[in-house]
Amino acid sequence: MAVWIAAFVAGWLLIGLPTDPLYAFFWLWAATVAWRIHLPWRQHLVFVRDWLPVVILLAIYNVSRGFADDYFDPHVTELIHADEWMFGWATGGVVPTIWLQQHLYHPDVRWYDVLASFVYFSHFVAALAAAVVLWLKSRPRWAAFMRRWFALSLAGLITYFVYPAAPPWWASVEGFLPVEVARISNRGWQEFGLHGAGNTLNVLQLASNPVAAMPSLHTAFALFVVLFFLPSVKRRWWPLLLAYPLAMTFTLVYTGEHYVIDVLVGWAYVVGVFLLVGAGERWWAARRARMAGPAAPGSDPGGPHTPPPIGPTTGPAGPTGPPTDPGGPDEPPAGPVDPTGPSRPVGTTDTGTTDPAGTPRPRQAPEQDGARVGTGNRTTEAGQRSR
């Protein structure tokens, strides 16, 4: 891992941040190889098999997103009015982006600019890194994670085509906002002299669709990752996890990348995806259970056994002993037990016939009542009298 970290830092400084899916895929694969270097190469190739469809779909998503504004004119004013209506009472009638930049933006880089740049960049690695950890630990959970991830990306992509929306910096450039809004999401890298990192993000921003702001998938992915892991984390850590999507929200609004309405719609998409995908998974599990059908008789040892009928059960003699009862475990005889003899219900003779009066009768030897002894069949004195 030390070699991987050194190589990653060198690539970061010389080439730039791994924001491209193929470039990020290479570094993630290298990280899994370094983490499990003791495994044979055939095991490492499993990562390529599982992740190659993911990378291809991400590449298609990035390319198609750039054409989302070719069919409809971008929406601008309704987003401005939505933010003014929600927050104008606290910002003096302007959108929150203008208010934040009026109070926080300075020509020189401040500490929160650095923090904002790191938070903004985390969008490109947080979900991928979480998916890699899940792939290493539990492939079923990785599959559940990826289903929600793709559903969220697909929902966002469809919205970009149907409802292209301009961000605050674009509205400022086109004259829809009364004051200038600076696009400053990458200026924090300058504080560390990492111009290559900032330039990589700048190139990515220029190549992407400039009017794909609704919904904000930056904050949607941040909330998605947190909500996926939240049930498995102790409650005392929840505030720390939930601080991440809030920090992403502040970053996107302050740096001019999104309106607050974009963020809220992104959060709504996350909730909808979790509900729909969860319902689909439950439906699929129920369908598989129905298709499996009921188990064959005697093939399910897990359920409760039906007790055998009370009374003697006759059957063919086994190869080495008396007749056996194939019906199940032995049951104790019903009724009170006669303390004067072997365990049997009161009112039952040696032959298993009960006195009609229900009173115990003395046991008699076979020669006294003339009973004929056969294999598994006896005639009682009461039975003789009945004849």
Residue whose entry in the numeric block shows the structure tokens 């450039």: 173
Rounded Cα distance, 88 and 34, in Å: 52
When the pLDDT of each residue in the chain is averaged and rounded to a whole number, the result is: 75
Give the pTM.
0.68
> What is the pLDDT, as a whole number, of residue 378?
44
For the cut 60, the answer to whether the pLDDT of residue 28 exceeds it is: yes
Average pLDDT over residues 44-69: 73
Q: Determine the residue type at 196.
A: G
Q: What tens digit of pLDDT does each residue of 236-294 get?
A: 999 999 999 999 999 999 999 999 999 999 999 999 999 999 999 999 989 888 888 76
User: How many C-beta atoms surround the C-beta of residue 77 within 10 A?
Assistant: 10
pLDDT band at 225 (very low <50, low <70, confident <90, very high): very high
- The CA-based angle 141-147-222, given to 5 degrees, is 85
Measured CA to CA, the distance from residue 317 to residue 313 in angstroms comes to 12
First CA to last CA distance, the chain: 95
Which band of pLDDT confidence, cut at 50, 70 and 90, is reported for residue 18? low
Q: Which is higher by pLDDT, 28 or 272?
A: 272
Distance, in Å, from the CA atom of 143 to the CA atom of 135, rounded to the nearest integer, reads 8
pLDDT of residue 3: 72
What pairs with residue 18 in β-bridges? none
Distances (CA, A) of 242 to 143, 178, 229: 23, 34, 11
Q: What pLDDT digit, counting tens, does each position of 123-149 carry? A: 888 888 898 889 888 889 999 999 999
Cα distances (angstroms) measured from residue 350 to each of 27, 73, 335, 360: 84, 99, 16, 11
Q: With beta carbons less than 8 A apart as the criterion, state whether 172 and 83 touch.
A: no
User: In whole angstroms, what is the distance from residue 350 CA to residue 61 CA?
Assistant: 85
How confident is the model over 176-210, as pLDDT tens digits? 998 899 988 888 776 655 544 444 444 444 445 67
